[in-house]
């Protein structure tokens, strides 16, 4: 498990290939503008493969002045399966541009994102939500060339989610809506955005804003919330996400009520267990992969100083109707 293993350097490759280190570098990075005969190029490539040469990351970054490492800084919040799809796509899209993505999970006791950024020498940092200016500044100080918030404008499709939820309920005849907010503080900002989307949909339909109530993932909390909604004549509730929606469903069940007859419920995220809920949960799903790809494009663009092509965002939000509404 702990073998140091002599490192193979570019010099080794050069010696084996019978060329200079410079040539090796040119070939391996296939630097444009250098017309290297195919014969030489092959020789270098073979030597590299033979020796299993891996360029030394630190040396490369030091010399080149950039590490091409992109750090995704995830704050302390409940992480779900949707996240991995986003991250995978982000990583894949970045890799196409020769960038390497790693993720930092911010925890109560661990390093801060800024710290981690400095330690790994990231070229770019993608933060969640909007980054505070002071943090952005610190990140730059730490060596990051580019710093982007996660959901600028389109990416998270966050407001549209709330809008889609509310529109769905409205289209099914509900006139008084509720919104189930998550208890986790880290989710507050995103929840507020989704709620805003729902509020806009209500306004468009000439309805009052949804009655927003916080619901932790416990039956008792859900009982309290659903009771208040019932009292307020709410007939349909949008939940921040599927977990919260499942809590609402549980609250209803506990009270001897049922969805959608007594109260329609729609979640968000379309987690795997949504369809297993009782009743199966109507939810809003959205294109996380697309979001990942768009984010990657934005990073690449600012890293290379190009203009950001606005990249169309269409049909990202979709209602998956099941029995709960």
Partner DNA sequence: ATGAAAGCGCTAACAA
Partner DNA sequence: TTGTTAGCGCTTTCAT
119 binds, among its own copies, DNA, none (CB under 5 to 8 A by kind): its own copies
3-state secondary structure of 42: helix
- How wide is the angle at C-alpha 259 spanned by C-alphas 254 and 262, nearest 5°? 85
Candidate segments 162-170, 218-226, 260-268, 311-319, binder of its own copies by CB under 8 A:
218-226
CB nearer DNA, residue 138 or residue 225:
138
Minimum gap (Å) between residue 74 Cβ and its own copies: 8
Q: At its nearest, how many Å lie between DNA and the CB of residue 11?
A: 6
Contact between 200 and its own copies by CB under 8 A: the answer reads: no
Contact positions with its own copies (CB under 8 A) in 83-142: 83-84, 87-89, 91-92, 95, 100-105, 107-111, 115-116, 118-121, 136, 140-142
Q: Is 30 in the site for its own copies (CB under 8 A)?
A: no
Rounded-to-integer distance, Cα 181 and Cα 194, Å: 9
Window 238 to 267, contacts with its own copies (CB under 8 A): 243, 246-247, 249-250, 253
Shortest CB 137 distance to its own copies, Å: 9
Residues 6+ apart with CB under 8 A from 32: none
**261-295 as b/e: b if 16+ CB within 10 A:** eebbbbbbbbbeebeebebbbbbbbbbbebbbbbb
**Partner interacting with residue 312 (select from DNA, its own copies, none; CB below 5-8 Å by kind):** none
Number of H helices, E strands in the chain: 12, 10
| 148 touches its own copies (CB under 8 A) | yes
276 part of the interface to its own copies, by CB under 8 A: yes
Nearer to DNA, 13 or 245 (CB): 13
Q: For residue 171, which phi and psi values (nearest 5 degrees)?
A: -65, -20
DSSP for residue 240: S
- List contacts with DNA (CB under 7 A): 7, 9-11, 18-23, 25-26, 28-29, 31, 34-37, 40, 53, 55-56, 59-60, 62-65
Q: Which residues of 167-200 are buried (b: 16+ CB within 10 A; e: fewer)?
A: bbbbeeebebbbbbbbbbebbbebbebbbbbbbb
When the beta carbons of 72 and 170 are compared against its own copies, the nearer one is: 72
Choose among 285, 227, 295: nearest CA to 257: 227
Return the range that interacts with its own copies (CB under 8 A); candidates 22-30, 32-40, 171-179, 270-278.
Answer: 270-278
Angstrom distance (rounded) from CA 222 to CA 240: 13
- Asked if 311 contacts 301 with a C-beta cutoff of 8 angstroms, the reply is no
Closest approach of Cβ 117 to DNA, in Å? 15
- CA-to-CA distance for 297 and 90, rounded, in angstroms? 9
Binding residues for its own copies restricted to 45-64, rule: CB under 8 A: 52, 54-62
């Amino acid at each position: 498990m702990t073998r140091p293993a002599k490192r193979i350097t570019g010099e080794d490759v050069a010696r084996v290939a019978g060329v200079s280190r410079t040539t090796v570098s040119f070939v391996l990075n296939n630097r444009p503008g250098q017309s290297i005969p195919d014969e030489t190029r092959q020789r270098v490539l073979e030597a590299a493969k033979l020796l299993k040469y891996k360029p030394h990351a630190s040396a490369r970054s030091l010399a080149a002045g950039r590490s091409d490492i992109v750090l995704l800084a995830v704050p302390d919040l409940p992480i779900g399966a949707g996240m991995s799809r986003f991250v995978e796509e982000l990583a894949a899209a970045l890799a196409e541009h020769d960038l390497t993505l790693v993720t930092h999970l911010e925890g109560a006791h661990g390093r801060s994102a800024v710290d981690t950024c400095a330690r790994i020498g990231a070229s770019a940092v993608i933060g969640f939500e909007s980054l505070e200016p002071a943090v952005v500044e610190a990140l730059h100080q730490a060596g990051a060339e580019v710093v982007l918030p996660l959901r600028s404008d389109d990416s998270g499709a966050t407001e549209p989610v709330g809008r889609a939820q509310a529109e769905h309920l409205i289209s099914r005849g509900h006139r008084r809506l509720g919104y189930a907010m998550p208890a986790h503080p880290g989710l507050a900002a995103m929840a507020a955005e989704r709620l805003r989307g729902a509020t806009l949909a209500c306004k468009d339909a000439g309805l009052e804003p949804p009655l927003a109530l916080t619901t932790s993932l416990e039956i008792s909390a859900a009982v309290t919330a659903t009771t208040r909604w019932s009292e307020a004549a709410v007939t349909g509730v949008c939940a921040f996400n599927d977990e919260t929606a499942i809590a609402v469903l549980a609250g209803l069940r506990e009270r001897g009520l049922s969805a959608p007859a007594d109260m329609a419920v729609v979640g968000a995220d379309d987690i795997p267990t949504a369809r297993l809920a009782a009743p199966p949960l109507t939810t809003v799903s959205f294109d996380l992969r697309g979001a990942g790809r768009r984010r990657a494009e934005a990073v690449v663009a600012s890293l290379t100083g190009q203009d950001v092509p606005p990249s169309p965002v269409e049909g990202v939000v979709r209602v998956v109707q099941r029995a709960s509404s």
